[in-house]
Structure 1
Amino acid sequence: MSAPGNPLIVIPARLGSTRLPDKPLADIDGQPMIVHVWRRAVEAGIGPVVVAAAEQAIADAVVAAGGQAVLTDPDHPSGSDRIWEAVRRIDPDGRHDSVVNVQGDLPTVEPETIRAVFAPLSRPGTDIATLAVEIVREEEKANPNVVKAILELAPGEREGRALYFTRTTAPWGDGPLFHHIGLYAYRRAALERFVSLPPAALEKREKLEQLRALADGMTIRAAVVDAVPLGVDTAEDLERAREMLKGR
């Protein structure tokens, strides 16, 4: 299995957020949030970037900023399904051998973070790559909203195989705990395989889609980075993002 060399970055986005409706179009320093995410992905410099939009208004905003967008089925059950539709429409001949999934609600994500999620795919046998950051706040260790990545990781290493993901506090014993960051890079064949699978039992129990891949025997490796990018889920998050990106 050779290292992928022609990645495509895809940003899924939809207007139907329950906590913050229409958030991809929320204004941040004079630009819609989705445009900020698109710009960070372009700055990563690892491949072309396309926004997989569930609604025309999102596509229009991206195109107006000079980007590329494709309109996708608004009824997709997950971002992975939306991404796969966009990949098939943009690249039906399979020129791109890998796909990087950047969530559309990460306007402050750094380009180097996007580059970091792609790096583990160069390891032979890796189907999916993702990110983790060491948990330093004690209250996050028992917070079920902070998903833990259980990694086979020797001391001092910055990349390891993911053995499980969970909302509980794990693993037991001395050593670091890692917060999973929901950015992914897929080999193209792995993404196609993933979206064809039915939900797994543990996926439904933990409400974590990535467990579907592990249940099917796919290999996920995670790179450790230094910070969690701000995900915009609430009005308070949006105000933080506006402060962080003011005048950028």
Structure 2
Amino acid sequence: MSEFHVLIPSRLESTRLPRKALADLGGKPLVVRVAERASRSGAASVHVATDNDEIAEAVEAAGFAVARTAADHDSGTARLAEAVERLRLGQDAIVVNVQGDEPAVPPACIRQLADLLQERTDAEMATLWTPLAGPAEWRDPNIVKLVADAGGNALYFSRAPIPAVRDGGDPGPRGRRHVGLYAYRAGALKRWNTLPASPLAELESLEQLRALAAGWRIVVAEGVEAMPPGVDTPEDLDAMRARFRRDRPERKRPS
């Protein structure tokens, strides 16, 4: 298994769910639950990258490390770029970006990404996909789709229903849902802020298209486990709390 590091970008502001990172999830802040899952992946280190004092205090109180960053980053990737500099990671170090709102992320998928990028020395990034559940997901603009070549290199990511079927219908098993989990070489992350802006990335609101437009190679593979939904809305948080209750049933008090 390759050596890798996990970085979890986290900020307090959230439009759809205020103070999401510190929302209670089974007695602990959501971001701490994410760090707990990431720590089971076998990573050499796990850091939460944040500019917020409350998040930093909660993470450190739970026994996890923090990489402090500036407050003016326009994306999680830009925040990670600063974090790898502050942590002084070498150019070839592998960094897995775990979103701060994914408390059920499978540790096996984190390891898979690190191993995939270790094997593909020609790639700057790696990410995962899972089969689309059906035509409704294929048409849903909130679900990102991807297409790749025969060698497992990403060709395009889109919110549109791709690949399109000229004669109508949906692509069936050829449809792939992108899983928003990434691995990077630290050297690539350090160059992130020097990449030119991408009109396609702005149109689709997908920053990975900025990397593709700059000529970066993004290697993709089907995830070894299904990726549960993250937490974006109050309804998502309720669903995740119910999941944690099912997975961690409360012990009955002795009578």
Give the TM-score normalised by the residue count of structure 1.
0.91
Alignment match, 2:241: 242
Q: Is the 8 A contact 2:92 2:185 kept in 1?
A: no
1:146 to 136, 143, 148: 143
Are residues 16 and 40 of structure 1, via their aligned partners in 2, closer, same or farther at CA, if it must alter by over 3 Å? same
**Residue 196 (structure 1) aligned with residue 190 (structure 2):** no
Alignment match, 2:106: 110
**Residue 168 (structure 1) aligned with residue 183 (structure 2):** no
Q: Is the 8 A contact 2:80 2:189 kept in 1?
A: no
Note the alpha carbon deviations across 1:125-172, whole angstroms, 9 max, x for none. Answer: 01100111110232111111111011224xxxxx81111001111113
Are residues 188 and 70 of structure 1, via their aligned partners in 2, closer, same or farther at CA, if it must alter by over 3 Å? closer
CA distance in 1, matches of 2:202, 2:137: 22
Contiguous gaps of at least 5 residues in structure 2 = 166-170, 249-255
CA distance in 2, matches of 1:69, 1:152: 38
1:26 to 1, 23, 26: 23
Compare CA radii of gyration and give the structure with the larger one.
2
Q: Is the 8 A contact 2:106 2:227 kept in 1?
A: no
CA distance in 1, matches of 2:220, 2:141: 20
Q: How many pairs align?
A: 239
Q: What pairs up with 1:82-231 in 2 under 5 angstroms? A: 82-91=79-88, 94=90, 97-121=93-117, 122-153=119-150, 160-173=152-165, 174=171, 175-225=173-223, 226-231=225-230
Q: Is the 8 A contact 1:37 1:105 kept in 2?
A: yes
Q: Is the 8 A contact 2:69 2:79 kept in 1?
A: yes
Question: Following TM superposition, by how much is the alpha carbon of 1:96 offset from its aligned partner in structure 2, in angstroms?
Answer: 6.4
Counterpart amino acid of residue 187 in structure 1: R
Q: Is the 8 A contact 1:8 1:96 kept in 2?
A: no
Counterpart amino acid of residue 210 in structure 1: Q
Give secondary structure in 1 for the equivalent of 2:152.
Answer: strand
CA distance in 2, matches of 1:85, 1:206: 25
Alignment match, 1:156: none
Moved more, 20-29 or 45-54: 45-54
CA distance in 2, matches of 1:161, 1:62: 36
Q: Is the 8 A contact 1:26 1:32 kept in 2?
A: yes
Contiguous gaps of at least 5 residues in structure 1 = 154-158
CA distance in 1, matches of 2:157, 2:195: 18
Q: Is the 8 A contact 1:24 1:104 kept in 2?
A: yes
Q: Is the 8 A contact 1:116 1:223 kept in 2?
A: no
Counterpart amino acid of residue 168 in structure 1: A
Question: Following TM superposition, by how much is the alpha carbon of 1:5 offset from its aligned partner in structure 2, in angstroms?
Answer: 4.4
Paired-residue identity, %: 44
CA distance in 1, matches of 2:175, 2:213: 22
Q: Is the 8 A contact 2:84 2:189 kept in 1?
A: no
CA distance in 2, matches of 1:161, 1:220: 6
Q: Is the 8 A contact 1:132 1:178 kept in 2?
A: yes
Counterpart amino acid of residue 165 in structure 1: F
